[in-house]
Amino acid sequence: MIPRRALLLLTAAVLGLHALVLGLAAHSGLPAAVSPAPVVFHTRTVVPAAPAAVAATAAPPAAPAPAQPRPAAQRKPRPSKTAPPPTETGLSDPPPAVDVATAPAPTASAPDDTASKPLPQAVETVASAPEVPPAPTPLAAASDSHTPAPPPGIAVLAPGGAPDGAGAPQVPVRLPPPARLDFEVRGQAKRLQYSASAELVWQHDGQQYQARQEIRVLFLGSRAQTSVGEITPLGLQPRRFGDRSRSEKAAHFDFAQGQVTFSANNPAARIAPGAQDRLSVFLQLSAMLAAAPQAYPAGTRIQVPTVSSRAADLWTFTIGDTETLDLPLGPVRAVALERLPVRDYDQKAQVWLAPELDYLPVRIRITQTNGDFAELNLRARQAP
């Protein structure tokens, strides 16, 4: 049990220590522990500083908070000796007119062959839009630069006359009546001689026409060409040309747009009024010579834009002499027309038209560059 004297001394010591603490607080300005207001004030002054201290200690040393980039509108462009000026100024003011032909060469960063390639289609369209209608643009791009542009219509050149590309006035035509022509065929393919039969069926009603020619070789199959279209003051106007061996390829004529398209995914080609296909061209020549035979003396050249199932070309036929042919039908007088090759891979085409048979073809001979040929000689003529 604690003696009374010791308890009194302990109580006096505690009271003295408490008085000492209160006296120090009064002289140093520290808040009293029991005063709530100073505690609130002290909390307000300490709490705002706490987040900065926490952020500073929580952020990893290797990733300090980066400065936020300026918006694009406020960023000042750095001057460069080679870079072009910013595009913002070009959007507000229209660029000056630029001649496409004299446009500056590509920069060093572009591929080396860029300068030799044509400009993009979008650039060509924008440059030519104010003056050139949009339709001719794809037609011009689709034409073959190695193929001469077809003249406007069929051109007839007098003997010794130079082609001027202007064409000729409208030539008269007189279509032969419908007929079925049977031919004997002899030919050579890969140095092998063969015999076959062929048939040409020609029909029209004065407004529409159709023609079909088929060559049949025993044990080897057949090859057929067809042409359908309209009859105009210029003569035949094909609408579709088909060429079938194992499969059929076709050319589709659109004279309103001035172009022909191909089913073999070949580029479209330009055509002009009077263009023919490889079957109708022989019947068109028949109609021209039948209408005015005196206008085509020997040496006259007839230029006809002619279309195959893959491309368009310009065929030039030269009128030859009139000769008598010994045919399976019998001896027949006929005018020779010859189309000579222009390029190394062109075929040679010859046709003989008989005046006594309404200038229908009585002999057709096609010769390839490797020497292969097919010759059709008329055996019989009858109504279709």
Q: Domain for residue 192, yes or no?
A: yes
pLDDT level of residue 28 (50, 70, 90 thresholds): very low
Reduced to 3 states (helix: H, G, I; strand: E, B; else coil), residue 57 is: helix
pLDDT at 21 over 60: no
Q: Domain for residue 103, yes or no?
A: no
C-alpha span between 134 and 49 (Å, rounded): 71
pLDDT at 194 over 50: yes
> Which CATH number goes with the domain that contains 246?
2.50.20
Q: Domain for residue 267, yes or no?
A: yes
Per-residue pLDDT reduced to its tens digit, 348-383: 999 999 999 999 999 999 999 899 999 999 999 999
For 136-142, what is the mean pLDDT?
A: 31
Q: Domain for residue 319, yes or no?
A: yes
For 284-291, what is the mean pLDDT?
A: 97
pLDDT at 180 over 80: yes
CA neighbor of 227 nearest in space, from 216, 215, 212: 212
Report the percent of the chain where pLDDT is more than 70. 60
Q: Domain for residue 105, yes or no?
A: no
Q: Domain for residue 134, yes or no?
A: no
C-alpha span between 376 and 365 (Å, rounded): 6
Number of domains in the chain: 1
Q: What is the pLDDT of residue 84?
A: 42
Per-residue pLDDT reduced to its tens digit, 297-333: 999 999 999 999 999 999 999 999 999 999 999 999 9
Q: Domain for residue 338, yes or no?
A: yes
Q: What is the pLDDT of residue 221?
A: 85
Q: Domain for residue 250, yes or no?
A: yes
Q: What is the pLDDT of residue 315?
A: 93
**Two tokens, residue 218:** 């025993």
Query: What residues make up the domain containing 230?
Result: 155-382
The better pLDDT of the pair 286, 167 is held by 286
pLDDT level of residue 68 (50, 70, 90 thresholds): low
Report the percent of the chain where pLDDT is more than 90. 48
CA neighbor of 155 nearest in space, from 301, 289, 313: 301
Q: What is the mean pLDDT of the chain?
A: 73
pLDDT level of residue 217 (50, 70, 90 thresholds): confident
Q: What is the pLDDT of residue 350?
A: 96
Reduced to 3 states (helix: H, G, I; strand: E, B; else coil), residue 365 is: strand
C-alpha span between 85 and 106 (Å, rounded): 17
